[in-house]
Structures are given as C-alpha cells and as structure tokens.
C-alpha cells in the first residue's frame, strides 16, 4: 500500500502535550478562576451608578432640547398652508351656516309670498 509520502505526525506532537500541561499548571497557579466573579461583585455597584447617572443625564439633555425646539416653534409664524386651511375652513363653515340660515329665511319668504298670492 502506497502512503503517498505521508508521515505519522504523532512523534512531532509529543512535546506539545507537555507544553500544554505546563501552561495549564502555570496559568492555574497565576490566575484564580473565581477572580472574574469577585471582580464582577466588586464593581457591579459602580456600573449601575454610572449607567443610571448617564441615562438620567441624557434624558435631561433631550428634555431641554425638545423644550427649546417647542419654544422656537411657538415663536414662529404659522405656515401658509396652515393659515389658509384654518381661514378658508372657518370661512366655509361660516358661509355654510349663513347659507343654511339664508335658505331658511328665503323659504319662509317664499311661503309667505305664496300665501299672499292665494
């Protein structure tokens, strides 16, 4: 059976296993795996205080910006389309109401005129 010039790499990896075991032993002695949890507990209050303060600061800043925009818009003249809609709408409403009164008055006159003709 032809191996195609392939060699068994296990002889080259024997030293790697020893290096990995040595690295684990070294890092296990240097670094405590529970340090992450202790650090989290130690700094949790700082993170909450920082986040809460920042959120409140951003809200206050946005509130002030929106209040300033509203003040500026309140001082501006109304846009022409809005003025036209309000004025024409009001005029049409008044005209339709006066037209209804006029029609009622005209129909009353016509009835009275018809009664006088009889």
pLDDT tens, residue by residue, 10-28? 777 778 888 888 888 877 7
Contact partners, residue 31, CB within 8 Å, separation at least 6: none
Evaluate whether residue 39 is within a structural domain.
Answer: no
Q: 84 and 108 share a domain?
A: yes
> How many folded domains does the chain comprise?
2
What residue spans of the chain are helical by DSSP H? 10-30, 35-75, 80-117
Evaluate whether residue 64 is within a structural domain.
Answer: yes
Evaluate whether residue 28 is within a structural domain.
Answer: no
Look at residue 3 and give its three-state secondary structure: coil
pLDDT digits (tens, 9 = 90+) for 42-94: 888 777 777 666 777 888 889 999 999 888 887 877 777 777 777 777 766 66
């Amino acid at each position: 059976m032809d191996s195609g010039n392939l060699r068994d790499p296990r002889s080259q990896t024997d030293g790697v296993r020893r290096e990995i075991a040595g690295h684990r032993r070294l890092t296990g002695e240097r670094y405590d795996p529970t340090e992450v949890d202790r650090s989290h507990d130690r700094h949790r209050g700082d993170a909450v205080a920082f986040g809460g303060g920042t959120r409140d600061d951003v809200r206050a800043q946005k509130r002030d910006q929106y209040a300033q925009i509203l003040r500026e818009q309140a001082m501006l003249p109304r846009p022409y389309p809005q003025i036209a809609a309000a004025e024409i709408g009001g005029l049409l409403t008044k005209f339709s109401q006066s037209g209804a009164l006029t029609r009622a008055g005209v129909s009353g006159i016509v009835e009275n005129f018809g009664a006088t003709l009889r």
